[in-house]
Structures are given as structure tokens and as C-alpha cells.
A and B are shown apart, each in its own frame.
Chain A
């Protein structure tokens, strides 16, 4: 088994709720509530769940941009990144000490256009991280930009063009080239293909798989499309209202989910086959509760088809199931 690259231990993130005439902090939303997982070198971990479950917050915490983007955010727990020089705890790092770490951890966003500066040529955008993180000369940097563009399936001659001249799929390729520029070890992909057309989505997924093999990359792949996550991931983690409810090998979690929430989530995925048997579908009643009024005990109990009175008492811990995965439900 490969060595761990990233360890998240008991991560808790609270977003402040501002109120009153003086706009002071009146409450806190627990967006992530005690999440732990380990990411091994070279693997892809898919993080899934409905909107508002905290999956993107986990991704942002790993790259440590929450303090800059959400004033008053409350972060607790440990995020340990194993560099070649030993482990580094990311959560407490100052801005200055975090910067060199960003050469190892890069991010790909959902909407490549909003993550690209419309006034910069794509060449200078891909070059920017090289200027920040490496001591290469201008000539070396430009050579690398051209090489990267060709590696992601574009042409070196396109370096002087602007983002609006590219289609959605090409823009995502540019985003990938920029993330790759500094030879990162870990890439966090937040919904990287959900804005793309089906035919282009397959191209980008194949590119991500090829690059992983070529550069020994580790992916944390956050997405809501379960068939895509199952395809690209080695392991899948399912989140619900800030809790990790199930984690295990991709095939096990997707084909034999243990937690009642994962079962409902996966059975709701439509299948592109008119003859498919849909009798086993669990259509959940109601909606995901507001994180401000989270149910006591198991967060899923208000919608759970197999709920019992005990579920209200304590948050169930992750436990090993016969099929091999960990699930936070003692009754499944």
C-alpha cells in the first residue's frame, strides 16, 4: 500500500453567521463536522454528496484558502501533508509559510472561465505559478508553457491567445495545464467536468487519468455526478450534512453501498438504459435539513428509511462492514 500523502483528522469547520445591527457573529454553521480520511500517494479519492454537504469546504480547507475567503471562519482539527522533507500541518500555517506548500497542492475549478483572467493571455496565466514557485529563467518558463499546452492537447502557438477564444473543454484543459505547471503532487479538482458537454467530459476525464499515470499525481476529486466519480476514483467518500457517512473502495461503495444515505443517493442516479431494473430505487422524502438546525445524533435520521429511536442519541462512528468499507450506521 502506498504511503499516505494527506491525512485529514477530525476536521471541523464553522462558518460564522453575522447578524444584528452591528453585524456581529450571532451563530456558527458547522459546515464540516469531524471529518477524517487519508489520501495515499497516486490514488484518486472521490468526495460526493448533495449540495451543502460540505464537500467543497473540505477541498478548500486542504488548500487553506478559507481564512482568506471567509472572514471569521473557525477551523479545528489537523490536515497533515507529507512532503519529501517530512509532514507539515497545513491548517495552522501562516500565509507566508503556506505559499511554498502551494507548489505541491494545486486546484482545478468547475468553471474554467471564471478561474481564468480574461485580460491575460493563456500563456502568461500558465506561466504565473512558474514565476512564483520556481527559479526558472524566462526562456525556460516559456518552453515549459509550450510543453504543457501540448501535453494537455492544445497547441503551443495558442499561448498568445485569450480565454474567450476557447471553448469550455479547451478552457478546462488550460486550467489543468496551469495546475500542472509547478509539478504538484496533489491536485484538488472541484467539479472539474460538470460544466462540460458529454462528449467533451469524456475527453477531460481521459486526460486526467493519463496525467495521473504519467506524473504520479494524487487526486481529491469533488463532484456530484456519481457515475463520473465512480469511473475516475479508486475510493469514494460520501458526505452528508458535514459528516463523512461512508468511505471505501469505489466499486464497493458504488455497487454495494452500506449506509442508508449512500444507498438512496446511488439508487437515485439515472441509468442510460431504458431496460434497467428500477424497482430497487429509494426515493428520499423531504430535503436536506439546514445545517443551522442539524438533527441530534445521526444527521440523516430525519430522512432515513430504517431510522430507530437510538439514532437521536449520538453521532454513530464509522465502523467496518462485511463488504469492506467503513460506514457510519450500526443498523445497516
Chain B
């Protein structure tokens, strides 16, 4: 009955029986660099259910941003390329679409917002021009007047005061928080089903962050089945907004679970270490727990478990053999040799029933 409980607790929760909105299977994105191939994302699989807010957390170099750019096929080629895998959306494999077909998916079906909106907005055009251009690009039959009204409406939805007047302003005339609102308005202007938000609040102050997160969640709730993939390094933001979390390290998924599972009973030594290294008011002012060492450079990742060089519970086997993803009885997925006795191995391609919702 855990699933029902979760659905009740998280009104944004997805019903477990529905088909996933997006299915990523064995996705691998490699970059050709000096001296070899950097495996930024190396075989990840997950589902996004309709209406779900899915968090992907990881530190720099974990592959979380490359994974999200791969979904929209925005990986610069060269040096990068998607080496293998499948990204199923609406019955089609996005990796097999033509350039033109992919263009109509971006914005209309799947939209993305980035950490620094200033780099995504064109500094020499007004906000209004950019919004209207986006709308007319996707809806060529729309008149200028219609597009203008729709753009103002979108700016009002993201709570920009004096929206009609601000249409004439350039991006530099907006503050950081307001620019991120404009980005959200632009991302949502064609009603996408899936919004990928890559560190949307990292550059913002906490008060603005709270406003932006609230805004993203309310706007999504207005649309039936609208989903968000939230990519962040901030575990606290994930705890507040997501239903399920994927923890990545070294280009691989290390742990998957509901936020309650991940935050109250994390099982991967990396997840445990990450949570313990956060300062918290409850834990007092003692020394912080730390994960020893640094995030390894992507070309220097160990051959066995990607985390074995920094793991406190490392055993000999970790250096030679990379653990498979295992499923615990409560549905949590963990890539660690130490849980093997109590868990079932999940084949490289995980079945969607186990990844989309915690098993009953």
C-alpha cells in the first residue's frame, strides 16, 4: 500500500500504472578528448511519469547535465556524441528523429531552462521580441497581435509586474530572479509536457529561489500530466520539491528512490556521505562528516565501482568489479556490492515497473 500512501502524501505523485511520459534506456554520451574518450554518461536508464517531479542530483562531473542535454539532443558534436541508448517519448525514439522533427519536439513537447538565464537570452533583442519570435516559430499561423497577447499572458503567469510594459525591455534590464522568470515564461510559452530544469535556482538568493520553485510547481500543476526533471546539486531543494530522486556519480546512476527513502534510509555509501556532509541545525556545530578526496577527473575514474576511491566501506571486490544496480524490498535501487545479500539484481536495462514507482 506504500504507493497509495505516497500518492496521498505527494499530490504531484504519478499513478503507478500509467505509461511513462519519457523512458531513457541505457543512454551513453561520450566526449572525444585529448588522450581518449570521456564517458560523461555511461548507460543510464530511468522513466519520467506523467505529473511527476523527478530530481537528479550529483556533484560536478557526475553527468547529470550531460544526461539532460542528451534528452534534447543538444550535445555539441564534435566533441560529444550519443554512443548508444534509446530515449522514448510519445511512442518515438528521440535519438532516431531527423533534425527537423527534433526541432518541433524542443519547446513544443520538451522545454529546458538553464542555470544562467543571461546566456540563454539574446542581449540585443527585447524580451517581447524573443517571446513573440519563439511563439511564431512554433505556430506559424499565429498573428503578431495574437502572439503579443499570448506573450504578455505568459509574463503575467510568471508574475512579472507591468508585463505589457516590460515586453519592450532588454534582458539586462531585468534582475537575476526576473530573468529566470522570463526564461520560465519562454520555456512554457508553447505548453510543453516536460520541463527540464538544470540548476534553475543555483545563481539566485534563497528568497528568490523559494519564489521560483513555487512558481515552477504551480505552473506545472495547471497542466494535466505535466512533468519536471529537476537537475541540481542541492539536496535540500530536492527534498522540498521532488517525489523521486536519482543520485548520479561518475556518469552512472548510483541510487534511486522516493525522497522519503533517500533522505531517511539512504543505502549507497555516496548518498549517505553526501547527506551527512550537509550542515544542519539539528546536528549542532561539531565537525562535519566529509567524503574523503575529490571528485575524480572523468578520465581517471576507477575501473571497478566509480566511488571506490572515496568510499569508507570499500572492499577488495569494489576495485575489480563494478556493482550492478540492485533492487531492495522497498523498491529502492542501489548500485553497491554491500546490498547484494538483501536485494535482487536488476538487469542493465531496468524494467519500467521497478523504476517508475516504488514497488508495493
Please report A residues at the B interface, Cβ cutoff 8 Å.
Answer: 50-51, 167-170, 197-203, 205-206, 209, 224, 226-228, 230-232, 254-255, 264-265, 268-276, 278, 281, 283-284, 286-287
Contacts and interface: CB of A to CB of B under 8 A. Distances in A.
B240 A199 contact: no
Given A50-B207, A199-B59, A270 B285 contact: no
B281 interface: yes
Interface stretch (B30-38, B146-154, B228-236): B228-236
Interface string B277-297: 111110001011111001101
Contacts of B207: 50, 264-265, 268, 283-284
B295 A167 contact: yes
A232 B59 CA distance: 22
Contacts of A200: 294-295
25 contacts: A50-B206, A198-B59, A199-B291, A199-B295, A202-B290, A202-B291, A205-B288, A226-B206, A227-B281, A230-B279, A230-B281, A254-B281, A268-B207, A268-B209, A269-B206, A269-B236, A270-B234, A272-B235, A272-B278, A273-B239, A274-B263, A274-B264, A276-B239, A281-B210, A287-B175
Interface in B233-288: 233-237, 239-240, 259-260, 263-264, 273-275, 277-281, 285, 287-288
B205 A224 contact: yes
A198 B205 contact: no
B9 to A, nearest CB: 9
Max chain B C-beta neighbours (<10 A), residue from A167, A226, A274, A287: A274
Contacts of B205: 50-51, 224
Given A199-B290, A206-B287, A284-B207, 11 more contacts: A169-B294, A198-B278, A231-B279, A270-B239, A273-B239, A275-B264, A276-B239, A283-B207, A283-B210, A284-B211, A287-B178
Given A200-B295, A203-B290, A287-B177, A268 B206 contact: yes
Given A199-B295, A269-B236, A283 B211 contact: yes
B176 interface: yes
Interface string B155-193: 000000100000000000001111000000000000000
Nearest to B62: A197
B176 A51 contact: yes
B288 A231 contact: yes
A265 B294 CA distance: 32
A161 B274 CA distance: 30
Contacts of B310: 199
A272 B281 CA distance: 11
Contacts of B294: 167, 169-170, 200
Nearest to B177: A287
B281 A270 contact: no
A287 B162 CA distance: 14
B209 A272 contact: no
Nearest to B270: A199
B122 to A, nearest CB: 23
Per CB-CB distance, the 6 closest pairs between chain A and chain B, nearest first, are A231-B279, A202-B277, A270-B236, A199-B291, A197-B59, A202-B288
Contacts of B178: 287
B214 interface: yes
Contacts of A228: 279
A155 to B, nearest CB: 14
Nearest to B176: A51
B208 interface: yes
Given A272-B280, A283-B211, A231 B285 contact: yes
A274 B289 CA distance: 21
Contacts of A281: 210
Contacts of B104: none
A275 B6 CA distance: 12
Contact of A270 (B209, B273, B289): B209
Max chain B C-beta neighbours (<10 A), residue from A202, A265, A284: A202
Nearest to A251: B281
